[in-house]
A and B are shown apart, each in its own frame.
Chain A
Amino acid sequence: MASQVTAGPAVEDGGAPGISAKYEAVIGLEVHAQLLTESKMFCGCRADYAQMPPNTNVCPVCMGLPGALPVMNRKAVEYTILTALALNCTIPEESKFDRKNYFYPDLPKGYQISQYDMPLSLNGHLSFELEGRRVRAGITRVHLEEDTGTLQHAGSVLHTAASSAIDYNRCGVPLMEIVGEPDLRSAEEAREYLVRLRQILTYLGVNDGNLETGSMRCDANVSLRPPGDSQLGVKVEIKNMNSFRAVHRAIQYEIARQAGLLDMGEKPLQETRGWVETESRTVSQRTKEYAADYRYFPEPDLPPLQISRQLVEEITSQMPELPEQKAARLVTQFGLSSYEAGVLTATRASADTFEAVVAGGLPPQAASRWLLGDVAKLETEHRTRLAESGLGVAGLVRLGNLVEKGSINGTTAKALLEELFLSGGDLDDLVQSRGLSMVSDAAELRRMAEEVIAANPKSVADFQGGKEAALQSLVGGVMKLTRGRADARAVTQLLRELLSAE
């Protein structure tokens, strides 16, 4: 399904897609994801290099010293296959690594070990709901390669920097490349594809899904063509998109830019453009002095891979429930709305929390209400997950159940929630010591109601004279006496009984 676009100036967030039916956008995403292994792809240095001082996570292999040789990380291969299976790919029985040859200071060997014509997986797809329709985006392949080092340019801009400093800590971190087919038709579809893809990767536990830090990276190929045309237009590759918002805006901008060119009878150039966040536009990345010819050939230092069907079965058996299946199950099993299920399953952690809370004994509806409401607010506000907060999953279950049983009221519960979330403590002690539990002793409540009736003869008379509203002020009086620790409905009921008996 295609949404039509139109030419226009730079696009603001949420800018409405145009109404022109002149062009159809054709978008494919290439996503790189660092794998959450312990060690690097081909050596024993750490895969988690964050926070490490420069060049302290480096060995002869990953810094490409003369004589060093790669040895592949089995876990990285398995993670890639796991991901490929989750994306409905087929896993060929044979695979191999190849060398992709090019010179750049962040690439120590002068080649990147990657996969060329025999990747670990092929021909998958990712499908998702967007605005009530189902989008099915093909996945060309998921393959495995190694990450490069990082460069810091003096003066921060590459082209004018007099020098660049290199840190090889990241070099050799396992990097999975997920190449998507050009099946996406709008910036919204592209963003949603990326959101769903990240959700799957994080569910699988193979990647942390962080576009800002670059542990997950996205490039987009964008072209326009007349609607219904089967030929692809001139393809422009967009880089430097470091957030979902950037992906959305950059693609919107690029569609508009290309449409503008086509409207003027010009053809977009086949080129690579970078998204400049601060200027809200894409700019042409300087054409290289040299055209590239990567001279791929089979990596002679690494024997080929034979992926037995048994290994594929083993990996399949480790497949966790994926977000879409999980959401569907929450609807059928717990009677949640699909909206609630969707939000609760946004991350594996939040879905796990929900299931833990329910398993702990809080009714699903209440669990959903708490988690999507007050707990979510606190988690966002304080950047702390429930499980790591002072309250914990068990605390929420107890607190929620006190409300369910009518032992405390909602207002009290909210106050307690925040306090426990931030500072911890024992729920029962707090309720006890502060006298927060509801006045549920019928005799005491009756004594208080009689006291209020005795003190408010006018309201009593008004009520008995037919003024229903007068009852509310009596209820208020009782609530005040209990300092809010009574169930207002029960108090109303009690007062009616007492007044009608009089």
Chain B
Amino acid sequence: MSREVEGTGAAGTGVDLGHSSREEGAGEGELSLAQVAEVATLARLGLERGELEQLQKELSVILSHISAIAAVNTESVAEMARVGETANSWREDVTTPSLPVELVLANAPARQGDHFLVGAIQE
């Protein structure tokens, strides 16, 4: 898979318009353990080998069921990302009160003053 290098968290790092099609994905439903591990990493799920192996089996079964859709003729069928399309559902540019800072931080697992705190970012 060709991939884009992840941003540093500064918003936006441009766009990669390369949603490419890999038809072999659907229709086969077989996942390698390495693929499962890669997906777990993308989803930030720390899974142990046993869990990965279990998921490899389960996901393969589910994907093979899902692959039923691959056979459907969808030529010139519109994609439906949402139902009840109401276009331009926007608000006027008006400010409303923010939350009191104590409520913002009320559930913080760790804080430093009025900041949220996380451990070392070593990516």
Contacts and interface: CB of A to CB of B under 8 A. Distances in A.
A301 to B, nearest CB: 9
Contacts of A297: 81
A74 B91 contact: yes
B118 A166 contact: yes
Contacts of A165: 112-113, 115-117
Interface string A377-404: 0000000000000000000000000000
A307 to B, nearest CB: 8
Category for how many chain B residues contact A: 35 or more
A300 B113 CA distance: 36
A8 interface: no
A73 B94 CA distance: 9
B12 A145 contact: yes
A487 to B, nearest CB: 56
Contacts, number: 196
Contact of B1 (A71, A158, A272, A293): A293
B68 interface: no
A96 B87 CA distance: 10
Contacts of B99: 58-60, 63
B36 to A, nearest CB: 15
Contacts of A294: 4, 16
Contacts of A286: 123
Contact of A272 (B3, B5, B9, B90): B5
Given A71-B90, A114-B12, A55 B116 contact: yes
Contact of A39 (B42, B93, B105, B117): B93
B11 A147 contact: yes
A290 B5 CA distance: 9
Category for how many chain A residues contact B: 35 or more
A46 B94 CA distance: 9
B119 to A, nearest CB: 6
A44 interface: yes
A376 to B, nearest CB: 35
B10 A148 contact: yes
A195 interface: no
B17 interface: yes
B50 interface: no
Contacts of B104: 55-56, 58, 63, 168
A70 B14 CA distance: 22
Contact of B91 (A46, A73, A104): A73
11 contacts: A44-B96, A46-B98, A54-B115, A60-B99, A74-B93, A103-B44, A116-B15, A151-B9, A167-B115, A219-B13, A304-B82
Interface of A: 30, 32, 37-39, 43-46, 53-60, 63, 71-77, 96, 100, 102-107, 112, 114, 116-117, 143, 145-148, 151-153, 158-159, 161-168, 175, 177, 179, 217, 219, 237, 239, 271-272, 285-298, 300, 302-306
Q: Which 5 A-B pairs have the closest CB atoms?
A: A44-B96, A292-B6, A75-B93, A165-B115, A104-B9
